[in-house]
């Protein structure tokens, strides 16, 4: 049996006394797009941060690429996009990308080439030298995505990557994600958009800190006897009627 790319075992996470993630176990295979779905406050961001090694669990273990997290060696091979943009707004987009690229060890020609590639991908090439403070909300989102992609990570953790991005661009970003996954990148993405959920190879439904379902979109629709992912989501989200 092939080892999963990300292995979450009996994970529990508390903030002070509140349990935010409750005994979660999840095996995420290589080279697939896995969607993380669930109502607001379900614990999606918390789970992504734990996988990224930015926080430590209270109980349980997380292995990424067969290494126990947190591990700086693995962090190098991860790409992370936070739910809220964390950018240096007084710097230009180029300076931001350049800074993060260097933290991942890119330099010289490769770095320049990668910066151009990812900016092309998110359609920001003409705004490369603009200060981020002059960016619109969607442009900032795209720049954050570019930063997550710049070092060609093997695992991509994207926390609501397409919020505020127009449908045309969203389409092209998703086809890029599909291409990346075909090339072997493992992608975890949280979303509230149902047509995006349908594009995922598999979906994990999270509610109140627990995984209540984990399967392909088709299987989830079948299991709930619903005709759309949206209805299946509503079913799992608590609107049983």
Ligand X SMILES: Nc1ncnc2c1ncn2[C@@H]1O[C@H](COP(=O)(O)OP(=O)(O)OP(=O)(O)O)[C@@H](O)[C@H]1O
Binding-site ranges for other proteins (CB under 8 A): 52-56, 70-73, 75-76, 78, 80, 82, 84-91, 95, 98-100, 102-105, 107, 131
With contact defined as beta carbons under 8 Å apart, do 142 and 124 qualify? yes
d(C-alpha 218, C-alpha 211), whole Å: 18
The CB-of-46 to ligand X minimum distance in angstroms stands at 3
The reply on whether position 141 binds ligand X by CB under 6 A is no
Task: Give min distance, CB of 151 to other proteins, in A.
Answer: 9
Query: CA angle, corner 100, sides to 144 and 45, nearest 5?
Result: 45
- Which has the closest alpha carbon to 189: 134, 1, 176? 176
Residue closest to 141 by CA, chosen among 90, 84, 197, 102: 84
Return the residues of window 64-123 that contact ligand X according to CB under 6 A.
Answer: 83
Nearer to ligand X (CB atom), residue 83 or residue 152: 83
The piece of 39-47, 101-109, 111-119, 180-188 that touches ligand X (CB under 6 A) is 39-47
Are 146 and 153 a contacting pair, CB within 8 Å? no
Estimate the crossing angle of helix 167-182 against helix 137-149, to 10 degrees: 10
Binding to Mg ion (CB under 5 A) within 15-74 occurs at 44-45
220 lines the binding site for ligand X (CB under 6 A): no
Q: Closer to ligand X at the Cβ: 181 or 191?
A: 191
Interacting residues toward ligand X by CB under 6 A: 15, 20, 38, 40-46, 83
């Amino acid at each position: 049996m092939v080892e999963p790319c990300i292995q979450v075992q009996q994970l529990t996470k508390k903030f002070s006394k509140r349990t935010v993630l409750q005994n979660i176990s999840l095996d995420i295979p290589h080279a697939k797009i896995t969607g993380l779905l669930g109502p607001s406050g379900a614990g999606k961001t918390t789970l992504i941060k734990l996988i990224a090694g930015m926080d430590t669990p209270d109980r349980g273990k997380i292995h990424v690429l067969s290494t126990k997290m947190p591990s700086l060696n693995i962090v190098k091979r991860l790409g992370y996009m936070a739910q809220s943009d964390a950018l240096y707004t007084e710097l230009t987009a180029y300076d931001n990308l350049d800074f993060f690229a260097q933290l991942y060890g890119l330099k010289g020609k490769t770095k320049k080439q990668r910066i151009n590639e990812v900016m092309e991908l998110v359609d920001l090439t003409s705004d490369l030298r603009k200060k981020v403070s002059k960016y619109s909300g969607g442009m900032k989102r795209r720049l954050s995505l570019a930063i997550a992609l710049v070092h060609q990570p093997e695992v991509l953790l994207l926390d609501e990557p397409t919020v505020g991005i127009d449908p045309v661009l969203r389409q092209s970003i998703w086809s890029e994600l599909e291409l990346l996954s075909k090339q072997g990148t493992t992608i975890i993405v949280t979303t509230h958009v149902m047509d995006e959920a349908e594009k995922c190879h598999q979906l994990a439904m999270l509610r109140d800190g627990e995984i209540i379902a984990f399967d392909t979109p088709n299987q989830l629709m079948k299991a709930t006897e619903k005709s759309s992912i949206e209805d299946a989501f509503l079913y799992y989200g608590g609107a049983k009627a």
